Structure 1
Amino acid sequence: MKPSLLILIPLGDDSRARISASFDIHYAPTHEARVQSIAKEGAAIRAVLTNGTTGLTADEMDQMPALEFVSALGAGYENIATTHAKARGIGLANGAGTNDDCVADHALALLLAVVRDVPQRDRATREGIWRDTLPMRPSVSGKRLGIVGLGNIGLKVARRAAGFDIDVAYHNRKPRDGAALRYIDNLHELARWSDYLVVATPGGPATQHLIDRAVLEALGPKGFLVNVSRGSVVDTAALAHALANGVIAGAGLDVYEGEPQPPQALVDLTNVVLTPHVAGTSPEAITASVDNFITNATRHFAGEDVLTPI
């Protein structure tokens, strides 16, 4: 008999079909379906597939007494009750590395779009406005980029930035072993040094509003912020004030507080580019993430170590 798997996130038909070859699927991508599925099928559920945003609470875990494996599809897992899961002996895994390239690509796309003002120039062109009436925008190349959180995604952002002859430095809680990039141990100093600040750090309580008013002021009126991590890392009110008052030049955000609704304080500003948390999604990335989940879950139920444990 195939293990029962509760899927709490939207997945396409092809992905579900591939997973169903190995698991008995209960698909609950909405809050209502989630509540109903846990109440009705909870006793039989042995595995859960979720993501960092959707998560899985300790109370929900306790409604599934047979639960023995929980996985996040992507790298993030901040809303999964991992401490409770480990106390219960539940195996944990994520999709680390499966969408790094896609997220790094998107970070550079946001940076290019906001620095070169691509959305507004597109709109102007459609309205018949010629370049002579538009202010010039700065070049992207030859500047300084600070990365907040030099994980695998941060490293790939740095690699892409090198193609633009951009000087890169980073801030972590401690230097990353083997990283040849410049390390700056103070976030405010990194922001002062940078023309562009790319946020790629994990979410969760430890990074709540890490990018606050003081960091934005340090970035300065010619600086640009890009966030491809979690919305909670950036103080929305401070960012809205900074964008509206020339404290920084612009921002590109794939994530924001209050998802899925974009913050009203940002939507009318022309110096921010917004995308709906899609940096990590592409056909290639989803295929890799689903394949990673199937491999990890299959290994777990075979008594083997998973490839990407939490």
Structure 2
Amino acid sequence: MPEEILQTHKLLDRCERSLAERFTVHKLHEAADKQALIRDISPRIRAIAGGNVDAALMDKLPRLELIANFGVGYDSIDTKAARERKIRVTNTPNVLNDAMAEITIGLMVALARRIPQADQFVRQGKWLKGSFPLLSELNGKTVGILGLGRIGKEVAARAQAMKMRVVYHGRNRQPNEPFIYYDNLADMARDADWLVLIAPGGKSTEKIVNRDVLTALGPEGFLVNVGRGTLVDEPVLVEMLQSGGIAGAALDVFEKEPTVPEALFALDNVVLSPHQGSATHQTRNKMGDLVVANLDAHFAGEPLLSAVV
């Protein structure tokens, strides 16, 4: 008999087909009575495909051994609780690095040159009445990266190709990287023209970009967030965008998605994106494949491909 697993949210069709070929899949997100489903299957579930797993759910699955998360970020999983219960956790790193780096640079160009606004300028016939305003370029500017991990390094490489100077802040200096390291985020923001956020979410990074950091970035500085909405003190960001405290922001993530502060809709100095950083066919299929591969490895007694716990 195939192993039984619990799927906690919708996954790509290709991933779901692969799971169905290998396992008996119980879809928690489709259950009319979720608690009844958990009670029925709990003695047989050794693995979960997906995220949104807290300690309470773990405790209802006494044989749970693995949570195969879909995504590089795993802040929707209580990893401390998993570690205490000796439950392994995997994520899907590396396969989304290029997609994330591409959208980061794309958002920077879109913000610097106001590409969405320029599109509307043409569509609304405003070009007939005068020229679009002069704006700025990326070349020659300094970009400060918060989170020089796998994705951050890909962004850095592309920023250098755009003739930008790269600096970074993180928990530790990386001695093998050629970029200047700042141990204080506000100091880096002060010295940067662009502040790019690619750090993970969680309590340790919640509102790490606060009023002090945004004030240091200043009225000529731009913010790009492709990490997590919780990295930024969102009300303060809105206030400073409205007042000119910073020059602009390009945001792919928000604190309470899919809810976006309505005040941002009226601002010309923002570019808004619906958390689509890794949302390409190529990347999402690779992410799904890695979820399946980690499950296969676990049940075969082989090393996990991308364990985080």
Report deviation, 1:168: 0.4
Match of 1:189 among 187, 196, 219: 187
- 3-state SS in 2 of match to 1:169: strand
Taking the TM superposition and a 5 Å limit, the aligned residue runs for 1:43-192 are: 43-51=43-51, 55-130=52-127, 132-192=130-190
In the other structure, the counterpart of 1:235 is 233
Paired with 2:34 and 2:116, the residues of 1 have a C-alpha distance of 37
The aligned amino acid for 1:168 is V
Paired with 2:252 and 2:221, the residues of 1 have a C-alpha distance of 18
In the other structure, the counterpart of 2:21 is 21
Paired with 1:49 and 1:112, the residues of 2 have a C-alpha distance of 36
The aligned amino acid for 1:289 is M
- Cα offsets for 1:97-140 (capped at 9, x unmatched): 12111111111111111111111111110011118343211112
Report deviation, 1:35: 5.0
Paired with 1:236 and 1:35, the residues of 2 have a C-alpha distance of 35
Paired with 2:278 and 2:16, the residues of 1 have a C-alpha distance of 19
- Gapped runs of 5+ residues in structure 2? none
In the other structure, the counterpart of 2:284 is 286
Change (3 A) 1:67 1:181: same
Report deviation, 1:180: 1.5
Taking the TM superposition and a 5 Å limit, the aligned residue runs for 1:246-285 are: 246-285=244-283
Paired with 1:255 and 1:238, the residues of 2 have a C-alpha distance of 16
Asked whether the 8 Å contact 2:219–2:246 carries over to 1, the reply is yes
- 3-state SS in 1 of match to 2:73: coil
Asked whether the 8 Å contact 2:12–2:284 carries over to 1, the reply is no
Change (3 A) 1:264 1:33: farther
In the other structure, the counterpart of 1:38 is 38
- Cα offsets for 1:214-267 (capped at 9, x unmatched): 111111111110001111001101100110000111101111111111122323
Structure 1 vs Structure 2 CA RMSD: 1.7
- Gapped runs of 5+ residues in structure 1? none
The aligned amino acid for 2:262 is Q
- Cα offsets for 1:258-308 (capped at 9, x unmatched): 111112232322211111111022111111111111111111112222121
- 3-state SS in 2 of match to 1:6: strand
Report deviation, 1:15: 2.0
Change (3 A) 1:107 1:303: same
The aligned amino acid for 2:160 is A
Paired with 1:146 and 1:169, the residues of 2 have a C-alpha distance of 5
Report deviation, 1:40: 4.1
**TM-score where L is the length of structure 2:** 0.94
Paired with 2:167 and 2:70, the residues of 1 have a C-alpha distance of 29
Change (3 A) 1:38 1:265: farther
The aligned amino acid for 2:3 is P
- 3-state SS in 2 of match to 1:146: strand
State the number of aligned residues: 307
- The alignment status of 1:297 with 2:295, answered yes or no, reads yes
